[in-house]
Chains A and B, each alone.
Chain A
Amino acid sequence: MSGKEFFVNRYEKLGWKFVDATPRQAIRMNLTNAKGKNLKERLRKVGVSLEKIPFLESGYWVSESQVSVGATTEYLLGLYSIQEAAAQIPATLFADLKGKKVLDACAAPGGKTVQLADLMGNSGLIVALDVDRKRLAALANHLERCHISNTIVYQLDARQASKLKIKFDRILVDAPCSGNFAADKNWFKRRTIADVERNAQLQREILAEAATCLSYEGEIVYSTCSLEPEENEVNMDWAVKHLHLQIEEINCPGQEGLTNVFGKKLDGSVAKCRRIWPGETQGFFVCKLKRVGKR
């Protein structure tokens, strides 16, 4: 069970008519570093035109660029990061990050870690985990370039996060996922439903571990760039039923989470999740969860 036709049929059954999409390039200003630096004007002078992304405080579309936005002096000085627009959403959904203990469970290559640190003004603590050592090098470069000072990085599988013996106020689970066709032009050739099911299981294991590391009244933001409901709504339904978590309202673009997936009825609160079908952004899914009672 694979191939473009198979997946496109699934999307139609979920209520979305397939359109080929190429996400627009986006950057995110690192406000801690760029404060008072008139970054937009500086970039305009080197041939980069920006357009504010309406649903993000510090996100901009790159509307025109005569240079590579990954090679300007401003980029190298950490004044901004290149970050796809939908991928900028999860970190902004946490309430009050300043001074908190935050876990970035699947952190590399570090775009969201740096964004969290920026939102925290380099205060508090971020623990960033990733299992792949090669990807940790990219994460470390990103942290150095953006002058991040509140983060500790471990090479550790997110499913073993409780080994750290820290209770976190905020946990970002930007879970490893099957991805989507808008971000990977060979996606339909490479992916099968077996990949989706394998990833969904891994995501549940990571979520379960995250729930054990969550402090009383803590928050988890779960996100994937997968369009497959097994990795998204179905997992959130499972989390509500098995992990003493409840889904919170969020204010961000996207359609309501599906509560009926191929005939299977899910918990009604799953509608509070947000599903973004590809268009100007890649495909994305995001959900905010909160602990129910003390565990």
Chain B
Amino acid sequence: MKFASQLGARFALNAEFVVNRDGRYFLLNEALRKVVCKGFYYAGTYLGKVKNGKFFPSFNLLAMLAKSDANKVIVDRQAAWLFTCGRDIFKKGIVAVYGSRKKGAHTLVLNEFGECLGFGRIVCSLDGGIRDAEVVVKNILDVGDFLRREVYV
């Protein structure tokens, strides 16, 4: 998957189990594949959608990638909360980095418990020489999105 490779992950899904419904992609298991009918609204694990030629991953997919060798930054509690509120990550909020540290690379953002909060883009190299108060990871998608998109509670 192209999106996974953007995160530096070696990750593949069995294409036979992936279905597309109006630009939204779902991963089925064997039991679901046997019974799923045309015209479903949602099925199995939602992977993400393609809109105007661009792929928007789901949080299920990000959580799956977090278990792979994808680029990751682990952030402290305060940075995690701010990221969930849509903010970027400052150098001082980063606890650990796994995978690419290069400017321009995409990286998953995980909290202190190793839970994936979303992903972003490294906007300046994480190799040192950066001030604590400088933004190093630009927020692209965070779990606060569930609140922003919710119609019904």
Residues of chain B from 80 to 119 with CB closer than 8 A to chain A in the complex = 80-81, 84, 111, 113, 115, 117
A77 surroundings in chain B (CB, below 8 A): 115, 117, 143
Contact sample, A vs B, 25 pairs, CB 8 Å cutoff: A70-B153, A73-B143, A76-B143, A77-B115, A77-B143, A108-B152, A109-B153, A125-B31, A125-B35, A127-B35, A133-B41, A134-B151, A137-B151, A137-B152, A139-B42, A140-B41, A140-B46, A141-B150, A143-B42, A144-B146, A152-B36, A152-B42, A154-B37, A155-B41, A164-B35
Interface residue total, chain B, C-beta cutoff 8 A: 35
A149 — nearest CB in chain B belongs to which residue?
Answer: B45
Asked if A150 contacts B40 (CB within 8 A), the reply is: no
A59 to B11, CA, bound (A): 37
A127 — nearest CB in chain B belongs to which residue?
Answer: B35
Report, as a range, how many residues of chain A touch the other chain.
20 to 34
Asked if A151 is at the interface of the complex by the 8 Å CB criterion, the answer is: yes
Which residues of chain B have a CB within 8 Å of any CB of chain A? 27, 29, 31-32, 35-37, 39-46, 58-60, 63, 80-81, 84, 111, 113, 115, 117, 143-144, 146-147, 149-153
Asked if A152 contacts B43 (CB within 8 A), the reply is: yes
B143 — nearest CB in chain A belongs to which residue?
Answer: A76
Asked if B150 contacts A152 (CB within 8 A), the reply is: no
Asked if A144 contacts B32 (CB within 8 A), the reply is: no
Q: Select one of A124, A136, A147, A166 contacting B41, CB under 8 A.
A: A136
B115 surroundings in chain A (CB, below 8 A): 73, 77
Contact with B along A191-219 (1 / 0, CB 8 A): 00000000000000000000000000000
